[in-house]
Structure 1
C-alpha cells in the first residue's frame, strides 16, 4: 500500500493498556540465521474500532553487526531503541522465543497463533505443549488474499494502529504484492525488496481476528481493484 496511507495509521499503541485483551498472533519463523517475527493483533472493542498491532522481532546476537554492514539496515539502532530483540549465539534460539511468547500469554489473552507451515513443526509442538492454540496458515492466494485486502481497507479507514514501529514499517515498505488472474493478492517474499516477515505475520494474525469477529472477507478492493504499491 502507499506508505503515506500506512504512516497515517501510526496511532499510539500502549502495551500496558492492552493487557488482558483478547488478541491473535501470527508467527513467521525464519531460517536459523534470519529474522523471526511474532505479531499480536487486538480486535476492536466497544467504543474503539481500531485493530492494535504489537510486533516483535528477533535476530541472532552474533550476526547483528555483520548484517548492519552487509544489508545497510539499522538493526543495531533498532535494538538499542527496543524495537528489535536478539537471541544468544549466531543462530536464532527458538527456545528463547517460545518462552517470550509464553510470557506474553501471561499479559495478553492470546486466542490463537497462526503460523506458516514451513519449518515450524518443533516450535508448534512446543507452543501447543505450553497451552496455546496454533493454526496452520497457507501462504498461497487462497489464504493470504482476504486478509491482505482487509488490511488495505482498514489502513485506508485509519483503523489499524501500529504506533509507527520502525521495523514493521520498513517491512511494509519492502512488500511486493503479487496478483493472480482472478484478482487475488498476496505478499511475494521472493520479489519483495527486503524482509517482509513482520508484515506476513501481521496479515496472518489479522485473518484470525477477522474469522473470530465475523468481519466480512469481502473488501472494497474486490469492487474497485488494487491501489498500486
Structure 2
C-alpha cells in the first residue's frame, strides 16, 4: 500500500525546528494583525492551530548555511478553507514583517486579473485595519488596474499579476503566491516568475490550489512532484508539500474523511448541511460526484477533464472470483480495435448474463520492436504487463493481421462467440479469413455517427452498475483515459477521445464499446424495436455484409 501524503505533522505535536526563532517571529507578526471579518477580541487575526503549524514549518527550519530551508510550498487544499486569508498574511509577512528585505518584490499570481485581485484585496483589507501599516504604505488604486502596495520603509512592493508571463520577465520576486494553478492556461507566467526568483537570495514560492483534472500541464506536474515528495519517493527538504486530499480507497461519503481533508470544517469554515445536500445529489449524479470529490475532497481526476465513466462504479464491478472458464456457456461478442503501425491492438469480449449484467475481458497486443523505449516515453509498464501475461508482445515492428485472426479463431473455439465487430477500414484481410471459418463478422466504422450508439450503451452499462470484470489493469487504464464530448443537441453526437498524455490509450474502451453494444442489443431486456432507425439500418446493413 502506498504511503499516505497526508501532513500528519500538522496535528501530531511533533517539534518543529526553529533555531533562530524565525518561525515564532512569523507567528507573532500574524497574530498582531487584524481582519475585518474576525470575531476575535479587537478583531485580531484568527490564526488557527493548523495554520500556525504551517507557518512554523515554513519559516522555522534552517539549512546548513543558516538560511530558511523551505523554498517552495505546495499547499493543496479543498475550497472553503480560507487559503486566501493565509496567503494574504504571508504576503504581508514579506512586505512589512520579519521576512521583509529591501526592495522586495511580493507577487500574487493567478490565471486572470480577477483571481489575482482576490488575494490582493484581502491583503489590502488586513493592512487597512492597522494604522501603523497604513502609515507605512501606499496602496495604489486597484480600480485603475495597477494593484500595487508599496512599503514606504524600504521600497518593497506587493503586486497582483496574471496571465501575461512575458510582462514578468525581468522581475526578481522575493515571495510568490501562485493561486489555483490548476486553471492556469500555460506555464509562461510560472516560468517567468521562477526564473526571476533564482536571481534573489532566499526567495519563497507558495503554490496554493485545489484539485484539477488531467495528466498534463503545470498543475499536474507540480501535483505529481508534490505527492512524490510527500510520500518519500523523492527527497527534497527545500520543498514542502501540504496535501489535504482523499486517499485512494477511502469512502467519499464518510464525513470523517470530509473533516480530515478540510481542516477548517471543525471551525465552521463550511456549511456542513450544504455539503450533505451536495453529497446527496452526487450519489445519484456521476458528474456531480466528480465535482464534489474534486472541489470538496481534493481528488485529482488524473486522466480526463471530462470523464465518461464513473471509475468508482467501474471498480465496484470487479469480481474477485472472475474466471473466464465460468463464462464459456454464455453468449459472447468480440469487439476489435486494430492498430496502426506500432500501436496497441485490443480484443474485448462481452459476455451476456441472463440478469442483464455484462462481463468483459480483454486481450491486448503490441509489437516487440521498440517496446522498452515505448514504455519509457509513455511511462507505462509494458514489460511488466508482458511478464504478467496481461499483454501479448508480437515479434517484429508491426502486428500482422493473421496473428489477430488466429487469436479470434481460437477464442471462437473456446467461447460461444455470436459476432465479431470491426472497423472495416483496417480489417479487410482479417475479416475475410474469419468469414472463411464461418464466423459471423459485423462492420461498424469508427465515425461519430456510427460510434454514438456504442458509446452511449457502454456508458449505460458501466455507470448503471451492470459491468463485471476481473480488474484487468490495462483495460482500466483505457477506460479512465477516455475524454468525452457530450451531445448537446439532437444534431450532435457523443464522442470519446483519448487525453493528451502519451500514456493515454483508449483502444480497450473502443473495443469494449463495440462488443458491449452488440451484447446489450441482444440481451433479453432490449428489443430490436428499442433501436433508433439509423441504428437499425446500420445493424441490418452490417448483417447483410457479414453474410
TM-score normalised to structure 1 length: 0.86
Aligned to 2:319: 11
Q: Contact 1:20 / 1:107 at 8 angstroms: preserved in 2? A: no
Aligned to 2:467: 160
Give 1:192 deviation, angstroms: 5.7
Give the SS at the match of 1:158.
coil
Verify the 8 A CA contact 1:60 1:93 in the aligned structure 2: no
What is the CA deviation profile of residues 117-171 of structure 1, one whole-angstrom value per residue up to 9, with x for unaligned ones? 2221111112212221111112233332233222222223321012111000000
Q: Shift of residue 68 of structure 1? A: 0.8
State the 1:10 CA deviation: 1.4
Deviates more, 1:24-33 or 1:123-132: 123-132
Structure 1 residue 28: Cα displacement: 0.5
Provide closer, same or farther for how the CA distance between residues 21 and 154 of structure 1 changes in structure 2, counting only shifts above 3 A: same
SS of 2:387's partner is helix
Q: Higher Cα Rg: structure 1 or 2? A: 2
In the other structure, the counterpart of 2:341 is 32
Aligned mates of 2:428, 2:485 — CA distance in 1 = 27
1:91: which partner in 2?
A: 398
Are the structure 2 counterparts of residues 84 and 130 from structure 1 closer, same or farther at C-alpha, using a change threshold of 3 Å?
same
User: What residue is the counterpart of 1:200 in the other structure?
Assistant: 510
> Deviation string for 1:162-203 (max 9, x for gaps)?
2111000000111111223426312124x5641101100000
What is residue 222 of structure 2 aligned with on the other side?
none
- 1:122 match: secondary structure: helix
Instruction: Name the count of aligned residue pairs.
Output: 215
Residue 22 of structure 1 is aligned with which of 312, 327, 331? 331
Q: Which residue of structure 2 lines up, in the alignment, with residue 215 of structure 1?
A: 526
Unaligned runs of 5+ in 2: 1-308, 532-547
Q: Residue 50 of structure 1 corresponds to which residue in structure 2?
A: 357
User: For the aligned residues, what is the CA RMSD?
Assistant: 1.9
Give the structure, 1 or 2, with the largest relative contact order (CA under 8 Å, sep 6 or more).
1
| C-alpha distance in structure 1 between counterparts of 2:310 and 2:353, whole Å | 24
Shift of residue 26, structure 1, vs aligned partner: 0.4
In the alignment, is the contact (CA less than 8 A) between 1:29 and 1:36 conserved in 2?
Answer: yes
What SS does the aligned partner of 1:78 have?
helix
Match of 1:222 in 2: none
| Cα-to-partner distance string for 1:31-82 (whole Å, 9 max, x where unaligned) | 131100011101122xx43201011000012222121112111111111111
* Structure-2 separation of matches of 1:201 and 1:192: 20
Q: Are 2:421 and 1:114 aligned?
A: yes
User: Partners of 1:192 and 1:19 in 2: how far apart?
Assistant: 38
> Can you list the C-alpha shifts for 1:84-118, whole angstroms capped at 9, x where unaligned?
11111121132122111111111101111111122
Q: Provide the C-alpha distance between the structure 2 equivalents of 1:142 and 1:115, rounded to a whole number of angstroms.
A: 15
Q: Give the number of the structure whose residues are more often strand, by fraction.
A: 1
CA contact (8 A) 1:175 1:192 kept: no
CA contact (8 A) 1:115 1:136 kept: yes
CA contact (8 A) 1:174 1:192 kept: no
Q: Quote the Cα distance in structure 1 between the aligned partners of 2:425 and 2:377.
A: 26
Structure 2: how far apart are the matches of 1:155 and 1:36? 22
Among candidates 384, 388, 407, match of residue 81 of structure 1: 388
| 8 Å contact kept, 2:347–2:362 | yes
Q: Which runs of 5+ in 1 are unaligned?
A: 219-229
